Amino acid sequence: MAIEVDCRGKKCPEPIIMTKKALDSIECGKVMAVVDNEVARDNIIKLAKHNGYNYFYEEKEGEYRIYIEKNPGEKKTDEKEKEKVEKRAYSYVILITGDTLGRGSEELGKLLMRNYIYTLKDIEHLPECIMFLNKGVYLTTKGSEVLETLKQLESKGVEVLSCGTCLDYYGLKEELAVGSITNMYAIAEKLSEFRAVVL
């Protein structure tokens, strides 16, 4: 029998945190999360994929039931854990919280941000990912001057992530033109796992 986690009416990052707690509470078994929006559904599916769990979901009357199965054999091996620790030692992430760089002239700030992102693609030590929060999401949506540069970075293996709550707030969710949508839990996890450059 599955543990049921009712996440209806909960805002990001609550659904993913509630589901993760339920999964962490068992060695093996099933968890069924109930959500009432696609963003929460997608975030929980990403959690299951990231951990290598089997999952499927069904939709009924605007609600989603995500079934996740956790098996004991799915734990990461010591070798994989060692690789992960070694990777963390030299890897970093970038958190961009606005569409300008520095304080002062907004026009100059936009130019500096564009130049910074443009320069990133040519440095030797690329970040693991670039995460965009608040007005930073304007840089990943249609009309942004840095879209092509971000696509080049993505093609070099840099993950490009935009906060789903921020995209919703600014009415830009349908305008996302590079990378994928993420949630606050995933952002917090990456910030705790890697060295972070915050702009």
159-169: per-residue pLDDT in tens? 999 999 899 99
3-74: CATH class: alpha beta
Split at pLDDT 50, 70, 90, the class of 84 is low
What is the architecture of the domain spanning 78-198? 3-Layer(aba) Sandwich (3.40)
**C-beta of residue 95 within 8 angstroms of C-beta of residue 198:** yes
Complete DSSP assignment for 12-35: TTHHHHHHHHHHHT-SSEEEEEEE
Structure tokens at 79: 């070798």
Instruction: Write the pLDDT tens digit of every residue in 23-36.
Output: 888 888 899 899 98
Q: What is the pTM of this model?
A: 0.67
pLDDT digits (tens, 9 = 90+) for 136-161: 999 999 999 999 999 999 999 999 99
Domain extents for the chain? 3-74, 78-198
- Looking at residue 116, what is its pLDDT? 93
User: How far is residue 37's CA from residue 41's CA, in Å, rounded to a whole number?
Assistant: 6
